[in-house]
Structure 1
Amino acid sequence: MYNIICFGEMLWDILPDMELPGGAPMNAAYHLQKLSPQVAVISKVGKDNYGERLLALLRRHGLTTAYVQQDAAQPTGRVLAQPISDHDVQYNILFPAAWDFIEWQPALDGLLRQAEYLVFGSLATRHEVSRNTLHKALEYGVKKVLDINLRAPHYTREGISLLLQHCHVLKLNGAELELISSWLGDFPAREDKVRAISRQYDTHTIIVTLGADGALLYMNDRFYYHPGFRVQVADTIGSGDAFLAGFLSSMIHGRTPEQCLAYANAAGALVASRAGACPDYDVWEIDRLLD
């Protein structure tokens, strides 16, 4: 039984000096598998060396590849990643890629019927094939976790609004909060922006990551704050995905909102201190940061 399903892109981040596996849903699955096993990934890779290496990575870390499709016509996804500061990266997400063509298959019905959580982002909706498959998955009665990933020009306001109508847990960063709340009106304070989104889309759990300033959580009409952890940053690729994995696994284990937010910040900080989105680490290292 797979309790958590991650839907969307699997790809390679091509940096000036290295190639690293990535894609937010795969990154989240990688970290969730360490924290809350019984995770499955729905994606698609090309029938090429890049694709085979991603499948091998999943197997090596105990993740099933049963729901990762392979495409003979489209290449495995690649992102040209260029660091522009110590804490920021510029991305050129190449199109088309295999993950744009995730098809609905009968096996997905059984997978989604027995799962409790579906984790997805907005990037996988840039092409109609994967978009239609995701929309069909959203019809199932799972708890839906939306990790928005607004990368121009790969989204539309209408498409994002439709995803927001389906989510129970929403994660976004400060810039994404500003943009989405601006669609709803002019709100002076950050908390007002969060409340506006919650009211508009009936979403009762909203997490806003704030980079080096930590994160805030809005859950059941209350705000919680955490200042984050100070680490020597290697890069920020995948740190938000580790943050989400930390939060979701904590929520599944019944921790308090304060504990969920602290653990998420610790997981994100640990991954930011390592190179790449899926670095090797032990779970006790997150606990050491918390201590």
Structure 2
Amino acid sequence: MPEIISMGEALVEIMREKIGAGLDKPEVFIGPYPSGAPAIFADCAARLGGKVGFVGTIGNDDFGKVIQDRLRFDGVDLTYFQSKPEATTGVAFVAYFSDGSRKFLYHIRNAASGVIDKSRIVSSYFKGARFLHINGSAVSINQDWKETIYLAIETAKKNGVKISFDPNIRPEILGVDKVRALCQPIIENASIVFPSGEEATMLTGKKDPEEAVFALLEKGTDVVVLKKGSLGSTVYSRGTKYDVPAFEVEEIDPTGAGDCFDAGFLVSLIQKRSLKESARYANAVGALAVTRKGPMEGAPFPEEVDKLITLSKK
């Protein structure tokens, strides 16, 4: 039985080979790479030694096989993962630019990744789990996913499972008010929230990220881990604050780094490290995640994380 359950979109990513090549003209693509924020999280947590279950949907096609093979190879439990023969697997096309920005073109909502039903939320699957990890991108897919995730939260709470939440929703697509409305029921039940500074202020209406963090703690969240990219992370809980520096690496592909960070933090907590130690471990996991092209390709194994942490101490 899993210790961590993740649920949401599973898709493949197909990216431009050349930096600066947009999506509006013929150019070379590379891929497909397995992707989808909740799936990246699940795969990374499994690679790090976590017992992980993933709930999602793929099509009965070659792209779906890419995703399923990767998750299965890395040890993710797929008991409630399914293939829909009548649907095609979700796809994201990605372009990278020299200023570090990216442009995405998604086929998710109307693909297999948008298919879910409440029958896959089975109470017995949650018994013994420590965390249900929710990603904002999943709750924003469509109404079916929103209702199923809310049901999963209720089921998790009834079984004593803690909720962790990464509010990864783009306000430019849905609007800030709708994002807050979608996230509010999750935040009210979350033990751990993993926002960026921008996400924290968006969710709370506060202008300063630290004020936003305190507002989240006042709402009942036990721990807020503020992700700051190349500046590291800061962990807040009631009465404590830990600033944890980043690791210096060469960035190749930033996609999925935040999801890998989340995975590193939760696996580290389950392995009984402290909040500060878990943030350092998560920083190392997130740093290694950007060093290879492909959203899941940089997800590290424990020995790689230990090596990076050891080298940084010399």
Q: TM-score, normalised by structure 1?
A: 0.92
RMSD: 1.8
Using the TM superposition, give the Cα deviation of residue 12 of structure 1 relative to its aligned residue in structure 2, in angstroms: 1.0
What is the alpha-carbon distance in structure 1 between the residues aligned to residue 137 and residue 54 of structure 2? 15
Aligned counterpart in structure 1 of residue 63 of structure 2, from 37, 43, 50: 50
Q: 1:86 to 1:268 in 2, by over 3 A?
A: farther
Contact 2:38/2:138 (CA < 8 Å) preserved in 1? Answer: no
Contact 2:59/2:87 (CA < 8 Å) preserved in 1? Answer: yes
What is the alpha-carbon distance in structure 1 between the residues aligned to residue 64 and residue 97 of structure 2? 28
| 1:266 is the counterpart of 2:284 | yes
Aligned counterpart in structure 2 of residue 77 of structure 1, from 90, 93, 96: 90
Aligned counterparts, 1:56-205, within 5 A: 56-85=69-98, 87-94=100-107, 95-105=109-119, 108-125=122-139, 126-140=141-155, 141=157, 142-151=161-170, 152-154=172-174, 156-182=179-205, 186-187=206-207, 189-199=208-218, 201-205=219-223
What is the alpha-carbon distance in structure 2 between the residues aligned to residue 204 and residue 107 of structure 1? 25
Tell me which moved more, 80-89 or 6-15.
80-89
1:159-215, Cα deviation, whole Å (9 max, x unpaired)? 122221121110111221221232xxx44x43222101221x210211111111111
Contact 1:219/1:257 (CA < 8 Å) preserved in 2? Answer: no
Partner of residue 19, structure 2: none
What is the alpha-carbon distance in structure 2 between the residues aligned to residue 287 and residue 52 of structure 1? 31
Using the TM superposition, give the Cα deviation of residue 65 of structure 1 relative to its aligned residue in structure 2, in angstroms: 2.2
Q: 1:257 to 1:116 in 2, by over 3 A?
A: closer
Using the TM superposition, give the Cα deviation of residue 150 of structure 1 relative to its aligned residue in structure 2, in angstroms: 1.2
Tell me which moved more, 98-107 or 243-252.
98-107
Using the TM superposition, give the Cα deviation of residue 86 of structure 1 relative to its aligned residue in structure 2, in angstroms: 5.7
1:113-164, Cα deviation, whole Å (9 max, x unpaired)? 3322101112222311121111111112211011111124256321122221
Tell me which moved more, 172-181 or 240-249.
172-181
Q: How many residues align?
A: 286
What is the alpha-carbon distance in structure 1 between the residues aligned to residue 222 and residue 301 of structure 2? 32
1:229-256, Cα deviation, whole Å (9 max, x unpaired)? 1101011011111111111111111112
Percent identity at matched positions? Answer: 27
Contact 1:86/1:233 (CA < 8 Å) preserved in 2? Answer: no
The runs of at least 4 aligned residues of structure 1 exceeding 4 Å deviation read none
**SS at structure 2 position matched to 1:207:** strand
Q: 1:3 to 1:166 in 2, by over 3 A?
A: same
Contact 2:48/2:301 (CA < 8 Å) preserved in 1? Answer: no
* Structure 2 unaligned spans of 5+: 17-28
Q: 1:87 to 1:207 in 2, by over 3 A?
A: farther
Tell me which moved more, 147-156 or 225-234.
147-156
